Structure formats: C-alpha cells, structure tokens
Structure 1
C-alpha cells in the first residue's frame, strides 16, 4: 500500500535544537572550539548606557563568519540562508522559532565597529592555529591580487583645477547599506571638492587630443578607458577605489589584497587592503612591520620571505638583510649587474672606461619613488682628450654612469635567484600563496568588495582570511582527533607488549 504523508501545521510544544545537530557537525564543533566572549569587553565603549539593546557582538561576528564560510556576501541573503539551517541557528544561539535580526542591522554594526576589532578576531584565530602547531613562522610567502571595488568606471568624474579654499574630499566611511540609503554627491558637488594639479590636467588634455587624432588600429582598446587616470579622475561613489588593470582583463576600480601565507600548513599570517594604484614593492615594508609584530607576539621567528618580482626593490633587500631575513625575491628584469665596456672595482668604488680612465663616485641622487642613486663621472680633461669621445659621448662633456645605491643588495639577491634553492623557493611560493588567493576569491567572498572605503575593504579581507584559517583549523583538528583515536585503538587491542606500544608512538610522529 502506498503511503502518503499529510502535513498539518501545529505549534511546537517541545523542541531541543541541540539534540537535532550531529556531534560532528561543522558549526557545532566550531561553536565549541571558538570562544568569542572577549568581544564584549572590546565593544563596550562603542555603546551608550541607555536606549534599545543592540545586536550581540558575538552574534554579529558569528553571522560574519557564516557569510564568508558559505561565500555569501549579501546581508539579506545571509539572514535568509541562516533561517533555513538548524546548525547555523544553533551556532548563532537562536531557537528555531526566534526571529533573526534585520539585515540592515548587520550593515550598521559593521560600520560601527573599527578595523582593530576585526584584527583582534584575526589574531584570535591565528593564535589557535599556532597553538596546534599549524604555523611554523620561519618561512612565509607574500603576494597580492586586485579585488573589484563597489564602484563603476561609468561614474568617474574629472578632477577640477586646484583653487584657494577648496579641500580634498575625505576618505569615505565603510558603507554596506542599500544603495538607496547611501547619500551621494551630485556631480557638481563632487567636482567642486576633488582637485588635481594644473599641470596634470593640462597633460591629460594634450594626451586626449593626441589619442583622438591618432588613427584607430585593429584591436585597440576602448577610447574612454585610455583617457582615464587616477591622477585626473576619481569615483564619487568610492573615492578610495583606484583604477587598475590586470593582464588580459579590462580596467576596473579595485583594491589590492596583500597576503602573507605560512608555508607549513598554508595559514594566512597577515592580510591588508592597499590602494590599487600602488606598487607591491611600496607596501612590503608596512607588511613586514605588522607581520613581525604578530609573529613576535606568538613567539615565532621569521627567517625567509618568498615573493615575486613585483616586490623587487633595493630598499626592500636592504630592509630584509637588516632584519636578518633572507629574501627570495627575483630581481627586476631591468637590473643589469654589469655594464658592457665599464668594469667595476668594488674596493675603489669606481668604473673604468675602455680607454682606461676611471669614473669615480661623485654624489648621490634620488628617484621619483624615493630610491637612492649613485653618480659616477669621469674627469672633464680625460673625456675631452679621449679619441673615443665622438662615439662614446658625442653630445656630452664627460661620461657619467648612474647606478642604484643598493647595488650590493641586488647582486646578492640575483645570486640567490639563480641558485638551485632559489628555483625551489619560486616553485614553493607559487604552490603556497597563489592557491590561497584563488580560494579567497572563489570560496570565501572576496570576488568583490561589497562595502565602500579602504577601511571597509580591510574588514572584508580580514573576515575572508579568518574564514579560510578556520576551515584549515577545523580540518586539521579533526584529522588529529581521528589519528589519536586510531592509535589508542591499536594500543588497546594489540598491546600487552612494549613492541606494539613503540609502534603507537611511531604512528604519532
């Protein structure tokens, strides 16, 4: 006889949510292992003593964790998803018939909490990983990737010439509310406060005229995209977003996500948001300072750094050597260790030309990005009387060579790069940090920054990194528990002798 289930809605008289959640459920185990009560003390000063009670800070961060663990970036969809999952309700501390907070509550709370509070949560999870020997701290790989900002290229406005009395528009606050609820400046209001130097605007106008007069070739990019620059244009929606381009991709308004990943178990040791128009080499000193502080606080010592060519910089090489850290960073392709026809004497610190005349060190100079240069110049009389002058320097009075002041650091970095171990370190970096960046983008809500402002982007990246580390942590502790159970079973069933006991100890190692 065919059965048919008839559903009749009736009020629940007794229902214990915990009895319906399996003991091996991910969110049940996460609730038991992750203690977030420290957040109460750090959020106490953000609230007044009167008024309606706010959302529980622990509940808010549990909502955030679920969102990035489940790759849900919309607060509205997050509330809807949690209401249909009993294990998530149990993790949040809500009964099955208890209404969840309104989605805009999460947006306003995210704006209220400072970046430091999100960093505290990141440090908490990082310490858990350190306590379970998942972080060696000796060798880390660093890389960065652009993440799309919550702004469109179609809304870009041109900056206006600087005039007395005008001020730059301050950086936007973290925004994640509905689009209609976010106040927007009119184009006239925004253009009146965003300014640029007159010479930059004149250069832009001339560049636009040259592009418009040039013939259109097959495969040329969009004309409008070519005429946009961070120096002369800005986004009124999110002034912190910057125009950047990735090879093979279209220009977009992005933020830069910088990561430091431990090579032992792939745990993210540091993450931060940077402006997308900055170079990776410029962000390395700031990353290293913050990373060193976190490692020292956890009694770990950093010995090696792995990075790609984008972090190549003489100042960075000198900084790492000053901290006694080996930098496996390939040298930028334009660097040449030797100058053809001009051998270098490191003892006398001078070059020698093909005529045998010395080019001695004269003075220092600086580059636009702050790099230090050394100027070597031959004597005026030597060049004027030299028969090779017409072919060597036909339009100059004397021969001059400009070299980076960090040449010894570049040479040592090049030697490390060309060694067998340097090639292994390159493969290790690719195997360590690049899959982590891909996982954050595809599975942990970092495909797009759905908030506005650099501070908001930093919060998003921190939560994505926390979710990634928690997945690693829960998987690692589960393996450890299963291994101990198997080892105890072998010892119990086979042990009267010391032979099987020694086998059990070997299994743990």
Structure 2
C-alpha cells in the first residue's frame, strides 16, 4: 500500500553539521588553505577599544569568499543562502543556530574599515603565499593581460566629456576618481578626454573595444605564473591600452617587492609591445619580453618599409637595398645636436643626390626628394623582442599565454563577474581582488586534492 511520511516527534536530536558536508565539497577543500588568523590583527587598529562588540570580521571574510567562489553576486542573496545552506554555515563557522549578519553590514565595513586597512589586498596576498608554499608557482615565466568588465553606469545618464564638471556634493565614486588622477592606471594614463563620462562613476571608461555597442567599463589586469596559472597580482584600471600597460608595471614591481619574484620572461599581446614598455622591461627590469612588437613602420602601399633597410648600430646609420647610407647629419655642427625629436625618435636621411639617380626611387620615396627613416630611441629594445620571437621558448610562451584568457572566461562565466556591482576605482578594485582570491583558492582545491593528504 502507499506509504505516508509522519513527522517524528523526538524531543532531542543528535546532529553534527560536519557530517552533512560532503568530503569533496568545494568549500571543504578550500577551507584547508584559508588562513584568516591575521585578519583580526590587521583590522584591530580600525576598531574602537570600547562599546558593543562588532560582528566578527572573519565571519564577513568567509561569507564574501563563499559569495565569490560560488558566483553569488548579491550580498542580500548571499545572506539568505548562508542562512539556508548547511555547507555555507559550516564554512562560516556559524553552526545551526548562528545568526547571519544583515547585508547592510557589508556595505558599512566595505566603505570603512576594509578599505582603510586594505584588508582585501592582505587576504589576496595571503592566498598567494599559500600557493607559493604549495609549490604551484615556478617564478620563471609570467603572463599579463587585461579584460573588460562592464561598470554599473548608464549611458542615458552620462554627459559629453568636455561638458562634465565636478559637483560640489560629489559622491564617493567621484571623490575616488579625483584621487586617482595621478595614477598610471587611471588619470595619468592618457590626456585624452573621454567621449562620454558617467556622472555616477566618472572613472569608468566609455569604450567600444568589443566591436559592438559601446559601454562603460573597467579593466581587470592579471599577472599570472604560467606554470599553473596562479594569479600573482590583480589591478583595476581604465579600459584603455595605456592604463593597462601602467597597471602591468605596477603589478610586476609589487610582486617583486611583496614576494621577491622577478620573472625571466613576460608574455603578453601586442598591446604591451610599445617601444617604451619594451625598453622598461629589457633595460630597467632585465625581463625577456615574449611580446609581439607594436610597430606601424611596415608600409602597405607597395613602397619599401623600414625593415628593408639594414641598421648598423656601431656606425649609427641605415643602409638601403642599393647600398647607400642614411645618416642623421650630413654635416658637422659647431654645437653638437642630440637629433632626438619631440616624439622621441631620431631621423635618418639619405642624400638627395643618391636618391635622384636611384632605380628604386619609385618604390622607395616617390613623393619626397630623398628617403628618411624615423627610429625610436628605444628601438634596440624592439630589436631584442624581435630576436626572441624566433626562439622555441617564445613559441612555448605564446601557448601558455592562453591560460590568462581562460581565467577571464572562468571569471565571467563561472564566477559571473560580467558586470560590477560596486562603483568607483575602489569598488572595482575590491571586486577584482575578491574574485582573484576565489580563483586562486579554487586552483588550490583542484591541484591539491584531499586524497593527496591522506
């Protein structure tokens, strides 16, 4: 006959929360690598010594990690899920009767103590240190790249860039934007006025980089070790190439200072292949650039390009296909000249007499009396990058660069960070730090499974 469930009328129950969390649950595997002992010591100076005890900051850290690891984007929903889910309660050390804090608590602490103490950066670096101790970081080859994340900004409420003015009652996001005007990843990255500026989040960049509808966005910049795709640093920036290059330098310097890691080689796409950036890597940091050279000297109109001329560094001159010389100066000056233009180039010119009788003139300089070639003052760094492009190590690095792109795909599709919830440079930085922390924790759980400790 058909059975019917009857509610048991027991007076006492024996229930252990730990017994109801599967051994292979993601949060159980992550919990082994999470060390939050230093959270309280880092935050202690930002709490008063008197008054009512606050909510445990470790609880809020654990709840945020649950949210970013499990793709729960809303803090209100996060509180509901932690209240209902036994595994989340176990991870947050709440037990069965622990009270879940209100979602507004996160906002107050995020804009206050968390940012004043930079605790999210501390949490991220603590996880990176654990990756180092677990042997997941080789430290020889790094990769850097950036990906656009839509900002919480509306085009209909924006104004043309030249019409934007600072309001006397500017909000938090506007004040944060004004504080970053000298930052290489924001205001100092470019002097160009954006086409549109969001009044609620002026640091967000109006961009059409995805070849579709333009939108306001930030760029999340990752510096990873190419062995196991561990994220060594993350930085928020404007969604333009110059800002991303500035962010890459900041991350490389910070990784060296914080962890003592300087890579032998750095792999990136052509956006990082400018002469200035290559010179910074080669001359100042001693890093081999496995980066395509960003070069616009190749001509497409059928005339000879600069690559058809041979440069002699010792003699400081070019030689054309007909064997004629191109030099900076055809006479001696009483006061020596540097020969460097405002654009940071040296101009090498052929003799008009040589070009007039040359059979290649229609293919070389059909519209000018003589051929001239501009050479960047950091062209030697470009030559280093071009020479590396023919090596087997460069080819291996190009394949490994895909790992950073896979991290961005995971960030948007699995962790659901396709659009920011927080505004301003600090809001973008907080979200990117928490997401990168979650990705590193998931990486630890995957590469160091529970069975390996048995």
2-structure distance, mates of 1:403, 1:89: 63
Is the 1:383–1:398 contact (alpha carbons within 8 Å) kept by the matching residues of 2? yes
2-structure distance, mates of 1:338, 1:396: 15
Is the 2:309–2:318 contact (alpha carbons within 8 Å) kept by the matching residues of 1? yes
SS in 1 for 2:276: helix
Q: Which residue is 2:327 aligned to? A: 359
Larger mean CA deviation between 60-69 and 83-92 belongs to: 83-92
Q: Report whether the alignment pairs 1:250 with 2:213.
A: yes
What is the 5 A alignment of 1:19-418?
A: 19-112=19-112, 113-114=114-115, 116-159=118-161, 173=172, 230-279=193-242, 280-296=244-260, 300-322=261-283, 323-336=285-298, 339=306, 342-352=309-319, 356=324, 358-360=326-328, 363-367=339-343, 372-377=344-349, 383=352, 387=356, 400-418=372-390
**1:377 CA drift (Å):** 4.1
Closer/same/farther in 2, CA of residues 265 and 358 from structure 1, 3 Å limit: closer
Q: Report whether the alignment pairs 1:6 with 2:6.
A: yes
Name which of 416, 419, 422 aligns with 1:448: 419
SS in 2 for 1:71: coil
SS in 1 for 2:42: helix
Q: Which residue is 1:464 aligned to? A: 435
Task: Render the CA deviation track for 1:112-142: whole Å, top value 9, x for unaligned.
Answer: 2117211110111111111111111111111
1-structure distance, mates of 2:205, 2:11: 54
2-structure distance, mates of 1:170, 1:258: 31
SS in 2 for 1:83: helix
Where does the alignment leave 5 or more consecutive residues of structure 2 unmatched?
175-190, 299-303, 330-337
Closer/same/farther in 2, CA of residues 278 and 426 from structure 1, 3 Å limit: closer
Is the 1:173–1:456 contact (alpha carbons within 8 Å) kept by the matching residues of 2? no
Compare CA radii of gyration and give the structure with the larger one.
1
**1:437 CA drift (Å):** 1.0
Q: Which residue is 2:181 aligned to? A: none
SS in 2 for 1:331: coil
SS in 1 for 2:263: coil
Where does the alignment leave 5 or more consecutive residues of structure 1 unmatched?
176-199, 201-228, 486-509
**1:19 CA drift (Å):** 4.3
**1:174 CA drift (Å):** 6.1
**1:397 CA drift (Å):** 8.0
SS in 2 for 1:412: helix
Larger mean CA deviation between 86-95 and 146-155 belongs to: 86-95
**TM-score, normalization by structure 2:** 0.81
Is the 1:141–1:307 contact (alpha carbons within 8 Å) kept by the matching residues of 2? yes
Is the 1:146–1:255 contact (alpha carbons within 8 Å) kept by the matching residues of 2? yes
Larger mean CA deviation between 64-73 and 414-423 belongs to: 414-423
1-structure distance, mates of 2:216, 2:27: 36
2-structure distance, mates of 1:311, 1:169: 38
Is the 1:295–1:302 contact (alpha carbons within 8 Å) kept by the matching residues of 2? no
**1:150 CA drift (Å):** 0.6
2-structure distance, mates of 1:54, 1:250: 46
SS in 2 for 1:247: coil
Q: Which residue is 2:334 aligned to? A: none
2-structure distance, mates of 1:396, 1:414: 29
Is the 1:143–1:259 contact (alpha carbons within 8 Å) kept by the matching residues of 2? yes
Task: Render the CA deviation track for 1:288-314: whole Å, top value 9, x for unaligned.
Answer: 212222330xxx442111111111021
Is the 1:149–1:241 contact (alpha carbons within 8 Å) kept by the matching residues of 2? yes
The CA RMSD measured in Å over matched residues stands at 3.3
Closer/same/farther in 2, CA of residues 275 and 48 from structure 1, 3 Å limit: same
Is the 2:128–2:232 contact (alpha carbons within 8 Å) kept by the matching residues of 1? yes
Is the 1:230–1:243 contact (alpha carbons within 8 Å) kept by the matching residues of 2? no
SS in 2 for 1:426: helix
2-structure distance, mates of 1:318, 1:169: 43
2-structure distance, mates of 1:292, 1:416: 23
**TM-score, normalization by structure 1:** 0.73
2-structure distance, mates of 1:276, 1:385: 48
Q: Report whether the alignment pairs 1:482 with 2:443.
A: no
Closer/same/farther in 2, CA of residues 306 and 393 from structure 1, 3 Å limit: closer
Closer/same/farther in 2, CA of residues 136 and 424 from structure 1, 3 Å limit: closer
